[in-house]
A and B are shown apart, each in its own frame.
Chain A
Amino acid sequence: EDQVTQSPEALRLQEGESSSLNCSYTVSGLRGLFWYRQDPGKGPEFLFTLYSAGEEKEKERLKATLTKKESFLHITAPKPEDSATYLCAVQAVGGGSNYKLTFGKGTLLTVNP
């Protein structure tokens, strides 16, 4: 069974204080790993897709990396507007539900000014 574990559950940073969020996963075969941002009362908003180990993607202050067992979302010099819950999800190759995403429980990031 596909599993996704995110850590920490919550992270509080000062503005400008860089850090990383972790997503550990177990799948039979990885089709893709996805990062989403979710603001309170809203639907998840897509950030990145990573397909293979060694891949990296960047967007503004965010950088996502992927290994065979985990992914990191690095946040450089965060601002208060980066405060949100960050969700990680995997899509596996093969199995009964080829297309479903398995989500982690998320990391609640708070950036204080």
Chain B
Amino acid sequence: NAGVTQTPKFQVLKTGQSMTLQCAQDMNHEYMSWYRQDPGMGLRLIHYSVGAGITDQGEVPNGYNVSRSTTEDFPLRLLSAAPSQTSVYFCASSRRLAGDEQFFGPGTRLTVL
């Protein structure tokens, strides 16, 4: 199993540009989520999904959209990038909705100029 994969690994955007961060898992996990990690802030939940077609907001959802058309994929879209979105983004998945460990991808380092 490849586990949780993320692309790209690095990305530089200009303010106002849009892009999609890709996330895929091959473990048939129901639950997937997106976090951002900033220095001194810890990991914060952006959006999550409890199954195909079902998504919900986390702590810091503004400026991001998600969709989940398949069990495997959970892309994160930045509609109009802002410097405040400069961060490292991690996708995670878990087998069950509650109580199970989450498996994290390798991350995408995004810089918005």
Residue ranges of A at the interface with B (Cβ–Cβ < 8 Å): 4, 31-32, 34, 36, 41-46, 49, 51, 87, 89, 91, 97-101, 103-106
B32 to nearest A CB, angstroms? 10
Asked whether B42 lies within 8 Å of A105 as measured between CB atoms, the reply is yes
Residue ranges of B at the interface with A (Cβ–Cβ < 8 Å): 4, 31, 33, 35, 40-45, 48, 50, 56, 58-59, 90, 92, 97-107
Asked whether B48 lies within 8 Å of A99 as measured between CB atoms, the reply is yes
Asked whether B101 lies within 8 Å of A46 as measured between CB atoms, the reply is yes
B105 to nearest A CB, angstroms? 5
Asked whether B98 lies within 8 Å of A104 as measured between CB atoms, the reply is no
Asked whether B98 lies within 8 Å of A100 as measured between CB atoms, the reply is no
A101 to nearest B CB, angstroms? 6
Asked whether A98 lies within 8 Å of B97 as measured between CB atoms, the reply is yes
Q: Which residues of A are found within 8 Å of B31, using beta-carbon distances? A: 99
Asked whether B107 lies within 8 Å of A104 as measured between CB atoms, the reply is no
Contact of B99 among A45, A51, A106 (CB under 8 A): A51
Give complex CA distance A4, B45 in Å.
Answer: 14
Give complex CA distance A51, B100 in Å.
Answer: 10
Contact of A101 among B4, B41, B102, B106 (CB under 8 A): B102
Given contacts A31-B98, A100-B33, A100-B48, contact A44 B90 (CB under 8 A): yes
Q: Which residues of A are found within 8 Å of B33, using beta-carbon distances? A: 99-100
Given contacts A43-B107, A46-B101, contact A105 B45 (CB under 8 A): no
Give complex CA distance A100, B35 in Å.
Answer: 10
Of A43, A44, A98, A101, most B-chain CB atoms within 10 Å: A43
Q: Which residues of A are found within 8 Å of B104, using beta-carbon distances? A: 36, 43-45
Asked whether A44 lies within 8 Å of B43 as measured between CB atoms, the reply is yes
B4 to nearest A CB, angstroms? 8
Give complex CA distance A96, B20 in Å.
Answer: 27
Asked whether B48 lies within 8 Å of A97 as measured between CB atoms, the reply is yes
Q: What are 27 A-B contacts defined by CB distance under 8 Å? A: A4-B42, A31-B98, A32-B98, A42-B106, A43-B90, A43-B105, A43-B106, A44-B90, A46-B101, A46-B102, A89-B43, A91-B98, A91-B99, A98-B98, A99-B31, A99-B33, A99-B50, A99-B97, A100-B33, A100-B59, A101-B43, A101-B45, A103-B35, A103-B43, A105-B40, A105-B41, A106-B42
